[in-house]
A and B are shown apart, each in its own frame.
Chain A
Amino acid sequence: MCSLKSERITEQIKIEARLARLQKVKRGATRVFFFALPFLSIVITLELLATLGVINPRLFPPPSKIFLTSLTLASRQVGGVSILLIHVCSSFIRIVVGFSLAALSGIFIGTLMGTNKIIYRLLNPIITFIMPIPTFAWVPILLIWTGIGDRTIIITIFLSALFAIIYNTSLGVRSINKQLIWAAQTMGSNRLTMFLKVLLPGAMVSMITGLRLGLGYSWRALVAAEMLAAAAWGLGYMVFAARAFMAVDVMFVGLFLIMIMGYIMENGIMGSIQRVTIERWGMTRET
């Protein structure tokens, strides 16, 4: 009797669990469907318009052709590696190198500016003036100086991220309560401890804002610099070089790759950095 009852209860629980799972899957499916719906509608409209000959398929290639082109590009190989992969990787390496250099030196200079009054007075006006200058303005000089290639692109990325990071870091450090610094000093912390335990966490919110802004700027600078200064590889170069052959389908493949890479960078990487630093320390700003 008792066992029968418990059996029925477990059966009930199982059924409920299965139903809940089903509902979850269903909800996920509808979400995916509604996310894909606008893209599907655009793709179908473009495809129809192209096949009906309303729009010039050479200038506005139908989505099916773009897809086929992406397959061909992905399967074509140079030295055993897919062409698309090389484009993506060279862009990725450039932005990683340029941005990490900018982050390191930006946080260093920003902290110096935040803690030292003389350095702040010296550098702040210059940074205020340089910050609104589009980084691409330096590209012509860099082209003369370092020539076409990786060095120019990486320096452009570096410069575009640097000032936002410096500015926001110094803002964050300057906004730290002085008493905290004094307290740490009286308790005998050395410079390293001070930096790691007081200044860095205290300025973190503002610093992350700076890093975020800097990453966005350097991402934009990457694509533009690759158009102006890349020798052979990179997504920006791929899009720009395709113009010479009127290969609009190749351009769109490049555009989609840029879209995916940018999306991953802005939402995936920066989002997770924010999660493990600011939110863990309970310092999220309510916006």
Chain B
Amino acid sequence: MKNWFHKSLAENSKKNALAFLYFLAPFFLLFLAWEAASRLQLINPILFPPPTKVFPRLGILLFSETTAGQSVLLTHVYYSLYRLLLGFVGGAFVGVFLGILMGMNKYVHAYFNPIVSLLMPVPGITWAPILILWLGFGDSTIIPVILIAAFFPIVYNTIAGVKSISKELIWASQTMGANKKTIFWKVLLPGSAAYIFNGLKLGLAHCWRTLIAVEMLAASLWGLGYMIFDAREYLQTDVIYAGIIVLGAVFLAIEKTIVRFAEKRTVEKWGVLAEI
């Protein structure tokens, strides 16, 4: 038994390693072709610096220190993530709260639905210039803008989720003497969890995209978007590519670890993972 287990584990890890290799191989090929084309001047080496220049630049960014003694790259990442967290959490709270209210109450729905459905297709970034005038540069604009970007998909999906709960469930819990709080925590929230989760995922993606754009427009000094946009002024294309690689890696890490973990702990545990 034990032997079989070890064998299957070894086989599994072998399979995983192979899958990982298959995942990495195309990047390797791409980098090789890129390197050759860039070195042979087939493509402009300033616009497309060879990977052997980009990766060392990544290392330099990582290990060079700010005046506070922190790594430059990590400080940029830290500021971006901090803004992402604040904006997303704010948007999620407002979105889920309003969404549940709108899903439960006819009048609230009638009042807010026209506003939400008309404002939803407005890209969050549109608010950036207006908010810059109202609130000034820096975090005071960036965080509200990504809050707006997160809010709309979350509220939309939450409404759909609450509406998808059958009335009988609510009636049943009411007849069994559940008060409003219990109904909220035990019926409405788990019942609409699959939709809410979908909305949160979408909202996070919107947040992330908007964050980089708004950092280019309104950031002062720190943030990945600012780093990339600032590098343009000095024609440091290797910094731009290093930033792009970091952007991809950071969000992939967020999706594969935090989102996956949250999914396992909530939606999958409650067994309500809908195929939406």
Contacts and interface: CB of A to CB of B under 8 A. Distances in A.
B119 interface: yes
Contacts of B128: 227
From A123, A133, A141, residue with most partner B Cβ within 10 Å: A133
- Majority DSSP secondary structure for residues of B touching A: helix
Interface in B223-276: 225, 228-229, 231-232, 235, 237, 240-241, 243-244, 247-248, 251-252, 255, 276
On chain B, which size bracket covers the interface? Answer: 35 or more
B121 A262 contact: yes
A281 interface: no
B125 interface: yes
Contacts of B228: 137, 140
Given A133-B248, A136-B212, A125 B125 contact: no
B246 to A, nearest CB: 10
B111 interface: yes
A133 B129 contact: no
A133 B123 contact: no
Contacts, number: 156
A73 interface: no
A282 interface: no
Contact of A251 (B114, B130, B209, B237): B130
A122 interface: yes
A4 interface: no
B5 interface: no
Given A136-B209, A224-B213, A262 B114 contact: no
B47 interface: yes
A59 B29 contact: no
A266 B240 CA distance: 33
Interface stretch (B9-17, B19-27, B176-184): B19-27
A141 B240 contact: yes
Nearest to B232: A140
Interface stretch (A20-28, A234-242, A271-279): A234-242
B31 to A, nearest CB: 11
- In the complex, the 9 A-B pairs of residues with the closest C-beta atoms, listed nearest first: A262-B121, A140-B232, A132-B251, A220-B123, A134-B212, A243-B129, A134-B209, A224-B213, A136-B213
Given A228-B216, A240-B217, 8 more contacts: A38-B115, A129-B248, A130-B248, A137-B243, A140-B232, A239-B129, A243-B133, A252-B130
